[in-house]
Every structure is written in structure tokens, then in C-alpha cells.
Amino acid sequence: MTRVQPAWLGLTLVTAAVYAILLWLGARYLYAGPDRLPPFDARVLGYSAQAAREYLAALGPDQVRIYTGPMHWIDTLFPPLLGVWIWITLRWLGAARAVWLAPLYVLVDWSENALVGRMLEAGAQGVSDGLVAWASAATAVKFAALALALIAAGHAGLRRWGKL
């Protein structure tokens, strides 16, 4: 085992732990209303202006406080952790041409977080269609960048270990 492998394993465990906290907080506090509408960050394909307004209207004050407080701070920490993990993993597996997906993911996730924060500030009555469109696009691009990075890692891993 090289010296890098324990560090990579540690980074993997820390990243997974932070992600688990995000999932727990989201599942416990951020599904809103009687229909348990999912938070913006969990809508892989994005959302419409109407769906955003419905979600914002269904949020209670405590949910907004959690979304803009602990959830925001943890979700500010998570993207760079995952981005570093993606970067190191792709480099280690020999997919150097795909490492650009790591900073793309981080920047888009942080942008999404900022846009979601603005939507939460505006509320259901004050949010503009344009703001929702930008936030929704950031959500979809975040998931697309992550999917591409994981596909690249899987492909590089299969290639590295002679399965391709």
C-alpha cells in the first residue's frame, strides 16, 4: 500500500461522512409540506418556477432556518471535499483529461447554493422566474458534472485493471 492510499481512504471516509450528514439533514428537515416536496438540491433534473414557488410556500420558518444555516454551511464544505476526491481519484486512475470535471463540479455546486440562498430569501412571492431558471440549471449541471466524473472514474478503473 502506498502512502497515498491511506490518505485517499481518509478523504473518502470524510467526504462520505459529510455527505451522510447532508442526506440526514435534508431527509429530516427539508422535505416540505404534506406532499413532502424535495429540496432544490435533490432535484436531479432541476425544477420549474411553479415547482420552486410551491416548495418555497410549503417551507416553514424552521426549515428555512435550517436550510440557510447548518445545511448551507455543510453544503459549502462538501463540494470542495468531493471535488478534491474526484480530482485525486481521476488522476490516480489515469484519467488526467477528465480532471477538469472536479473544479467544474465545485464551482457549479457553490453557484447552486448561492442561487438557492437567494430563492430562500425571496420566498414564494418574491422569487423571479429568471432566478429559478438559473438555480435549476445549476442543479442539473451539478448532477451532470458529477455523473460524468463518476463515469470517467469507472471507465478509467476498468481500463486500469484490464477489464476494458
Share of the chain above pLDDT 70, in %: 98
Q: For 126-152, what is the mean pLDDT?
A: 98
Q: Tell me the three cell numbers of residue 63.
A: 426549515
- Residue 1 pLDDT exceeds 60: no
Nearest Cα to Cα of residue 156 among 54, 88, 64: 88
| Distance separating alpha carbons of residues 19 and 85, to the nearest angstrom | 13
Contacts of 13 (CB under 8 A, 6+ apart): none
CA atoms of 83 and 103, how far apart (whole Å): 6
pTM: 0.92
Give yes or no for residue 163 having a pLDDT over 90: no
Amino acid at 129: D
Please say if the pLDDT value at position 142 is more than 80: yes
